[in-house]
Amino acid sequence: MIVQRFPVFTQGVRDRRKSLLWWSVGIAVYIGVIAAMWPSIRGAAGLSEIMSQLPQPILELMGASDYDISTGAGYVSGELFGFMIPIFILILTIGAGAAAIGGAEERGTLDLLLSHPISRRQVLLQSAALVAVEALLFGVVIVVTLAIATPLADLQIAFVHSVGAAFGIVLLGISLGWTALAIGAATGSRSLALASTGSLAVITYLLGSLSGLVDFLHNAKWISPFFYANGGAPLVHGYTWWHGLVLAGVGVMALTIGINRFDRRNLSN
């Protein structure tokens, strides 16, 4: 029945299930390896002293100013949520978003799809649902892996905090994944969607990181999606829920503009 009602979504899941399986395994293994290193790192003498002697700007750049990196939660937050996990989810969702319509148009399969009785709006919304489900799967893998690793490696991460931190990451993936989807739909170009959304991510990440260092960039973190995903170290202190609204709002706004542009333009063949 779901196949009948959401054919684009269903086919998308079918196309990507193998790669999603490998993504899940890879993320779980990566988190597991980082977690497994914690007992020996904690044991290493003087980590806290070293950290406390580092100048504040260096800590900012390491993403470690918000929390104590000598606790399990702080360690995982810094090692994973500050950089690598956002990077991984963005590779996944920006890639999926850009491929869905921009990619189909570049490959030449969009013409055939849209010669069937399905509206452009439906194609875009079902593609958006696919991106969201991929991001959610990613989040579930994070939560499950951390739930297993926490007692094993004595990380002392509160379950509700890991859910909150994963939620922020999922929303980060969705907001930029939908942006890439919208740019692909608006322009018909997968490469343009990838390049522009990727640059957006890199620039806002750098501005956000520098905002604690450079006086005139002090307010720059407010434009960084990474701040709304991981600012304030949700793995340690819990997720600031209104941050999620900002990310969701950005995603919905991008989709709305994308639908509008996609609905009006000539498709290329």
Partner 1 sequence: MGALAIRTQGLTLAYRHGRGINDVDLEVPAGEVFGFLGPNGAGKTTTIRVLLDLMRPTAGSASVLGLDSHGESLKIRERTGYLPGDFSLPPSLTGAQVLDWLSSLRPNTPPVRRDELVQRFAVQLDRPMKQLSKGNRQKIGLVQAFQHSPELVILDEPTSGLDPLVQDEFHRLVRDFVAEGGTVFLSSHSLDEVQHTADRVGIVRDGRLVTVETVDDLRGRGVRRVTLTVAAGSGDLVENQLRVLDGISDITRRGDVFEFAVVGSYSSVLAGLGRLPVIDMLSRAADLDEVFLALYRGTDA
Single residue of 48, 109, 191, 256 touching partner 1 by CB under 8 A: 109
By CB under 8 A, residue 22 contacts partner 1: no
By CB under 8 A, residue 2 contacts partner 1: no
Contact 24, 89 (CB under 8 A): no
Single residue of 10, 65, 71, 260 touching partner 1 by CB under 8 A: 10
177 C-beta neighbours (distance < 10 Å), count: 30
By CB under 8 A, residue 154 contacts partner 1: no
Residue found by looking up tokens 């994973």 in the block: 80
Single residue of 28, 114, 125, 148 touching partner 1 by CB under 8 A: 114
Single residue of 19, 26, 29, 107 touching partner 1 by CB under 8 A: 107
By CB under 8 A, residue 108 contacts partner 1: yes
71 C-beta neighbours (distance < 10 Å), count: 17
Closest to partner 1 by CB, 40 or 269: 269
Closest to partner 1 by CB, 56 or 119: 119
- Closest to 78 measured CA to CA, from 53, 59, 54, 94: 59
The DSSP 8-state label assigned to residue 84 in this structure reads I
By CB under 8 A, residue 15 contacts partner 1: yes
Closest to partner 1 by CB, 12 or 225: 12
Minimum CB separation of residue 118 from partner 1 in Å reads: 5
H or E segment to which residue 249 belongs:
helix 241-264
Minimum CB separation of residue 68 from partner 1 in Å reads: 49
Q: CB under 8 Å to 29, separation ≥6 — which residues?
A: none
Closest to partner 1 by CB, 44 or 112: 112
103 C-beta neighbours (distance < 10 Å), count: 21
By CB under 8 A, residue 113 contacts partner 1: yes
Rounded to whole angstroms, what are the CA distances from 51 to 27, 55, 189, 217?
27, 9, 46, 25
Minimum CB separation of residue 14 from partner 1 in Å reads: 8
State residue 154 phi and psi, 5-degree precision.
55, 50
In single-letter form, the type of residue at position 156 comes to: Q
By CB under 8 A, residue 121 contacts partner 1: no
| Sites of contact with partner 1 (CB under 8 A) | 3-5, 7, 10-11, 15, 107-109, 111-119, 264-267, 269
